[in-house]
Amino acid sequence: MYRRTVLTGVALTAVAAALTAAPAQAHPQQSQQHRHHCPQLSKKLTWFGDNRAKLQRTIDERGICSDGWRGGKHRPVAAFDWDNTVVKNDSTDATIVWALKHDKILRPKSWSATSKWLTPAAHRALTEACGTDVPVGRPLPTSTDKACADEILEVRGEAKTMSGEEAFEGDWNHRRTVPEYAWVPQLFAGHTVAELRSYARAARDEALAAPVGSEQKIGTHTVPAYSRYYAQQKDLIRTLKKAGFATYIVSAGSEPVAEEWAKGVGIDRKHTIAIRSVIKHGRITTAMEGCGDVPAGQGEAIPYMDGKRCVINEQIFGVDGDDAWEKQKPSRRIAVGGGDADTDVTFVGDATGTHLVLNRNKPEIMCRGYDDADGRWAVNPMFIEPLPAKSEPYRCATEGFTNPDGSLGPVRRDDGSVIPDQRDTAHA
């Protein structure tokens, strides 16, 4: 149930051939029979600069019209983050908001048991706000209890209590996990996977029906009410699939939620990877599957930053143990990677064809995107409500990189050289 089909040794050999292929020069018979069928990105959809051309180049180099194409299981791989990369706004947050509006969060026996990193201050704040009158395991009345809904949203969104105290503390690898992300599936402990999927579908349908730009109020929080699939990304995924790419979603959200939303761009459950909760007696628990040499636990390793590389290496390419955390040789790496935030920077950087970045002003991924060390980075403004230019350069040379202990340092290229500060040039 939990193991994706991985590429075989033969498949990896074929991928290696595709990775080293020159830009597509069709065989004579391809020119006559297939060239006019080579999948092309729509020219009716707007991309920034030459980004469409960069993506098309990779499609031509690695897809069905390339000299190295062999078909079947011998396919290049594309992987995309989900929230704010393929879809505008956060589908996980939309699902939480929907659950709060419909009283779907079950009262835990103790809030401190929901996360190993939850602070005593957060435990007290959640207990006081949500009360103890509701029996353990029964729904909290968050649709009417604004204080309870407020505390949950603040802990999830800001990692703080409503009074401003830190919600999480302790030690964790800041390139493998972040407690407030891991806390999302933990909030749904006690539900079945089918129930969570139904909440995700309801949230999706409501968000897609809401007008672009609309907002809603939950407690004292004003949050987006709408979502949209980006037309350019739907077209890109559709074109990649037509060109023979094995195309995946790799999200730091809850897997049942990501699975339901990914259907909208033609990605099935087999090709959707996200935080995978441990199921016990048919119900979601606060435990999560690990990755590589990190066993199942409380979220010590989730698809976040280096964790996204790990799950791609492990679940797609079959790399086991601690090797799954390491950058692999080209034959065991994705051809196209797309993301919008530092949570995506490692796997997007691993791509051998095109590194697609949507500009949300996140430092490390923007530093790498603008530095464009290999000439294959494609930085694009968000397709809906793009951000204006960042007024100050990204401080790549001093504090753009997040170290495992959470401290900041310079962003370095693969050769160890420091990326200089970068101006924001791909914006509204």
CATH topology of domain 9-24+39-88+229-409: Rossmann fold (3.40.50)
pLDDT at 21: 40
The pTM (predicted TM-score) of the whole model is 0.91
pLDDT at 243: 97
pLDDT digits (tens, 9 = 90+) for 212-229: 999 999 999 999 999 999
Burial, 210: exposed, middle or buried (Cβ in 10 Å; 0-12, 13-18, 19+)? middle
Mean pLDDT along residues 84-101: 97
The yes-or-no verdict on residue 256 having pLDDT over 90 is yes
pLDDT at 230: 98
81: which DSSP letter?
-
Angle at 248 between CA 339 and CA 183, to 5 degrees: 65
- In the chain, the amino acid numbered 147 is A
Confidence class for position 6, pLDDT limits 50, 70, 90: low
The yes-or-no verdict on residue 283 having pLDDT over 70 is yes
Is 275 in contact with 254 (CB distance < 8 Å)? yes
Confidence class for position 92, pLDDT limits 50, 70, 90: very high
pLDDT digits (tens, 9 = 90+) for 308-362: 999 999 999 999 999 999 999 999 999 999 999 999 999 999 999 999 999 999 9
Is 310 in contact with 287 (CB distance < 8 Å)? no
pLDDT digits (tens, 9 = 90+) for 184-200: 999 999 999 999 999 99
Per domain, the residue ranges of the chain are: 9-24+39-88+229-409, 91-224
Is 109 in contact with 214 (CB distance < 8 Å)? no
Tokens 């709060």 correspond to: 100
Is 333 in contact with 355 (CB distance < 8 Å)? no
pLDDT digits (tens, 9 = 90+) for 398-424: 999 999 999 999 999 999 999 999 999
The yes-or-no verdict on residue 244 having pLDDT over 70 is yes
